[in-house]
Amino acid sequence: MIKQDIPDIIVSRLPIYLRALRHMQALGKLTTSSQELGATVGISAAQIRKDLSQFGEFGKQGTGYDIAFLIDQLREILKIQRVWNVAVIGMGDMGHALSRYQGFSDRGFRVMMVFDNDPAKIGGQVGNFVVQDTKDIVAAIQSSGIKLAMLCVPAGAAQEVTNMLVTAGVKAILNYAPISLNVPAGVRVQYLDPSIGLQRMTYYLD
């Protein structure tokens, strides 16, 4: 049986739902409705029901969704019930911040190794990690089986490092470098360039 193809735009909303559900759970709530969840995340109730219905029937008429159950289901769908090891490349301020970020541990991720090409940084400590030489990326990542990387190198180095990551078997890159990356089919990139984020809003300002 062929697994049904879910539109990427639907998949991309699931982490938002999950984050809001965990927030509700932390507040002590036990159940919610598509109406309430939608108001929280700024998405219509109909769309939330439609999105979730792609993956199964998680609610009950009249009462809505059990929060703990829906959290479990979403974590399974997103494959974050396991813990994913991640590599961080580039130990500037941004890479440094991500290497020490406390927000990954309960959301499915763990930084496992960090890299830089600056001899002054290689061998030094960042957070709990010893900085490895960028030229060793392929060997180190390949043998560790890491599939996720966060890219925090300057724009001029980003494509070259990306090529190394792809060679090493990385399948998903969180890109902080201000450049569009070229990757083969089967490798995913999410872009988090802060300037792009700001430039998407200035259009609407006076």
Partner DNA sequence: TAGATTGTTAATCGATTAACAATC
Interface ranges with DNA (CB under 7 A): 7-10, 33-35, 43-47, 49-50, 52-53, 57-65
Distance CA 12, CA 10 (A): 5
Minimum CB–partner distance for residue 91 and DNA (Å): 36
State the binding partner of 7 from a copy of itself, DNA, none, CB within 5 to 8 A by kind: DNA
Q: Which of the residues 9 through 28 are near a copy of itself (CB under 8 A)?
A: 11-12, 14-16, 18-20, 23
- Residue from 91, 108, 112, 141 touching a copy of itself (CB under 8 A): that is 108
8 versus 93: smaller Cβ distance to DNA: 8
Is the Cβ–Cβ distance between 141 and 165 less than 8 Å? yes
- C-alpha–C-alpha distance, residues 205 and 65, integer Å: 39
Report DSSP letters for 42-78, one per residue: T--HHHHHHHHHTT---EETTTEEEHHHHHHHHHHHT
19 contact, one of a copy of itself, DNA, none, CB 5-8 Å limit per kind = a copy of itself
Taking the C-alpha atoms of residue 138 and residue 197, their distance in angstroms, rounded to an integer, is: 31
Neighbours of 4 (CB within 10 A): 7
100 binds a copy of itself (CB under 8 A): yes
* 112 scored as a contact of a copy of itself (CB under 8 A): no
How far apart CA 51 and CA 55 sit, in angstroms, is: 8
Q: How far is the CB of 41 from DNA (least distance, A)?
A: 12
As measured in angstroms, the least distance from the Cβ of 196 to DNA is: 16
Site string for a copy of itself, 132-161 (x = CB under 8 A): ---------------xx-x----x------
45 binds a copy of itself, rule: CB under 8 A: no
Q: Which segments of the chain does DSSP mark as H helices, in order? A: 8-11, 14-26, 34-41, 45-53, 67-77, 93-99, 137-144, 155-167, 194-202
Q: Write down how long the chain is.
A: 206
**Contact positions vs a copy of itself (CB under 8 A):** 11-12, 14-16, 18-20, 23, 40-42, 77-80, 84, 86, 92-94, 96-98, 100-101, 103-104, 107-109, 147-148, 150, 155, 171-172, 174, 178-180, 188, 190, 192-205
